[in-house]
Chains A and B, each alone.
Chain A
Amino acid sequence: MKLSLGKYLLPTYVLLTFLFLGIPIAYTFVFSFNDSIKSNILWRGFTWDNWLNVCNQQEVCDAFANSLIIAVSATLIATVLGTMIAIALVRYKFRFRSATNLLLFLPLATPEVVMGAGLAAQFLDFGWPKGMPTVIIAHTMFTLSFVVVTVKARVATLDPALEEAGRDLYANPAQVFMKITLPLLLPGILAAAMLAFALSFDDFIITQFNSGSIDTFPKFVYTAAARGIPAEANVIGSMVFIVAIAIVITVQVRSSIRQRKLAKK
C-alpha cells in the first residue's frame, strides 16, 4: 500500500495541477461560443456566430490588427539587434564586457511598471506624442534581452572549426556568415523571434503607459473588463492559443523525427 501511494502520489498531483492550469483556458474557449448579448458573463446557449463574425465588434479586430503590427515590427528589430549582441558576446573579448552583461540583465530584473513609466516620462520630457511608434520602441526595448539570452545559448554550442573550415576553403567573411554561421544559428534565432513575438503580443503594462490612444488586444481587454468582455475577444484569444499550440507541437514533432533519423544513421 505504502509503495503504490508513493508511486502514484506525484503523477496524480501533476495531473491535478495541469487540470487547474487549464481551467481558465477552457473557460475562455467555451465562452467564445456563448450566445451572449452584451456582456459575456452568463451562459445563454451555443452559437458559431462569434467565430464567424469576429469583426462584428470592430474595436476587437482593430486592436488585434494593431497588436500584430506592433509585435511583428518589434520582433524584427529586436531579433536583429539581439542576434548581433549575442554573437559579439560569445565570440569576442572586449572591455566593458561585464557592464554590457549588466545592461542586458537589468531589463529582465526590472518590473514592467518601472520600464513603462520611465519610458513614458522620457517621451513626455522629449515632447514625443504617444502612438504606434512609441509602442514599437517600448516593445523592442523589453524583448531585446530575451532575444540575446536565447540566441547566446545557441551561439555557445556552435563549433568555430566549421567556420574555420569555410575560411580554409577560401570563403570570404560574408560568405562564411551567410553560408555557415547564419544557417547554424537559425533555430536559435527563430526561437528567439517567437519568444519576442509572444512577449510583445501579450504585453499590457508597458503598452498602457506608452500607447496613448492606440488600442492593442490586451489593452482592449483591460478597458472592456469594467463593463464585461465581449465574446469576440474570447474568439481571438482562443484562435491565438490554437495557432501557438499548433506551432509548438509541429516544432516538437519535427525535431523528434529528426532525432530519430539521426539515431538510425
Chain B
Amino acid sequence: MAFVALGGSAPAKQQAPKKAGRVALLLLLPGVAYLGLFFLTPLFSLILTSLKVPSATGDIGRYDFGTEIGNYGYAIEQYLPQIIRSFSFALVATVIALLISYPIAYFIAVKSRDKPLLKGLLLTLVIAPFFISMLLRTFAWKQIFSNDSWIVNTLKTFGIFGTDSYIIGTDFAVIFGLVYNFIPFMTLPIFSNLDRLDIRLLEASGDLYANPFTTFRKVTFPLSLPGVISGTLLTFIPISGDYVVASRDFLGGPDTAMIGNVVEANFLRIQDYPTASALSVMLMAAIVILVSAYVRRSGTDDLL
C-alpha cells in the first residue's frame, strides 16, 4: 500500500538510472501534464478566486476577477474560531492517534515478526475499516453515542453522566471520531518502518545493560522516527481539512465547525466563492509551511 511505501522504504537495489531520452519524456509527459492541468492550475484558480469582487450586475454567486486582498481579512475576522479549532483538533487527534497506534504497529512489526500468519491477519484487521465507507462508520458512532442510545443511558443510570448531558455535538465526540478514522493512517507507516528494524540492535542495547524502557527511548523510537513523521503527516493534514466528522449531521454540533465546514458552506451553499477560496488558500499555506518546517527539522527529505 502507498502508506507503506510512504514510510520511506529504501529500494532493494540501487540501479544506475539511464540518461533521459525521448522515451523518458514520453513516459512522463501525460501524467505530469495531467497533474499540471488538474492539480497545479486549480491552486492558481483558487488564489485568483480568493481575490475576486462581487459582479457589477449584483447577481448572487457571480464574481469578477479583481485584487480584493480584503477577502482574506474578512475570512479571518469571520472564521477565526473555526480556523483555530481546525488546527487544535488536528493536533490533539494526531497526538492521541499516535499514542494509540504506536503499540499496535510495534506489536505487529516486532512481536509478530516470526509469525507470518498472525502478522498478515493483524495487518488485514488494521486496514479493515478502509473497506467500509468512512461515512457509514462515522454515522455508526453517531448512533452509538446518540442521546437515547444504550451506552449513554447506561452512563446516566450509573450516575457517571448527568441526566441532561450529551456526547454528540461536543468537542470530545468530534475528536473521538477523527482519532477513530485516522488510526490506520498512523499505524501503517509506523509499522512499515518498524518492520525493517534490526532486532539485533535491541539485543545489543540489552547486552549493554539498558532496561527495556531505555532501549525503547534511545534505540527503537529514534530509529522509527521517519515512520512516525509519515504517520503524523498522513493524519494531521487530512484532519485539518475534514468536515464530515465535525458536521452537524454526524458527530459535530453548532460549536464544532472546522475550516472544512466553513469552506463547504461558503462554496457549495451560499456561493461565496471568494471567502471559501481565501480560507482554502490559507489552509494550504499553513500546511505547506508546517510540512516543510517539520520535514526539514526531522531530516526526512525523501517522503516519496
Contact = CB atoms under 8 A, between A and B. Distances in A.
Interface of A: 10-11, 13-14, 17-18, 20-25, 27-28, 31, 41, 81-82, 84-85, 87-88, 90-95, 100-101, 103-115, 117-122, 124-125, 137-138, 140-141, 144-146, 148-150, 152-153, 156-157, 159-160, 191-192, 195, 198, 202, 204-205, 208-209, 217-218, 221-222, 225-226, 229, 233-234, 237-238, 240-241, 244-245, 248-249, 252, 256
Contacts, number: 286
Q: A28, A159, A240 — which one has the most chain B CB atoms within 10 A of its CB?
A: A28
A198 B131 contact: yes
Contacts of A160: 15
A117 B131 contact: no
A103 B29 CA distance: 13
Determine which residue in A82, A160, A225 has the highest number of CB atoms from chain B within 10 A of its CB, and name it. Answer: A225
B1 A90 contact: no
Given A105-B303, A114-B283, A218 B133 contact: yes
Given A24-B140, A117-B267, A125-B45, A92 B17 contact: yes
A22 B117 CA distance: 20
Interface string B4-40: 0110010111010111110111011011101110111
Contact of B133 (A81, A104, A125, A221): A221
Interface residues of B, number: 98
Give 5 nearest A-B pairs by CB, closest first: A111-B241, A156-B11, A118-B42, A94-B20, A24-B140
Contacts of A21: 125-126, 128-129, 180, 183
Nearest to B90: A111
A240 B32 contact: no
Contact of B1 (A17, A94, A100, A150): A150
Dominant secondary structure of chain A at its interface with chain B: helix
B46 interface: yes
11 contacts: A21-B128, A21-B183, A24-B129, A92-B17, A107-B35, A111-B240, A118-B42, A144-B35, A149-B304, A153-B5, A153-B11
Interface of B: 1-2, 5-6, 9, 11-13, 15, 17-21, 23-25, 27-28, 30-32, 34-36, 38-43, 45-46, 48-49, 100, 103-104, 106-108, 111, 116-117, 120, 122, 124-144, 146, 180, 183, 233, 237-238, 240-244, 247, 249-250, 259-260, 263-264, 267-268, 273, 276-277, 280, 283-284, 287-288, 291, 303-304
A118 B45 contact: yes
Given A114-B46, A225-B139, A256-B117, A25 B132 contact: yes
A84 B28 contact: yes
Given A93-B19, A119-B42, A205-B241, A221 B135 contact: yes
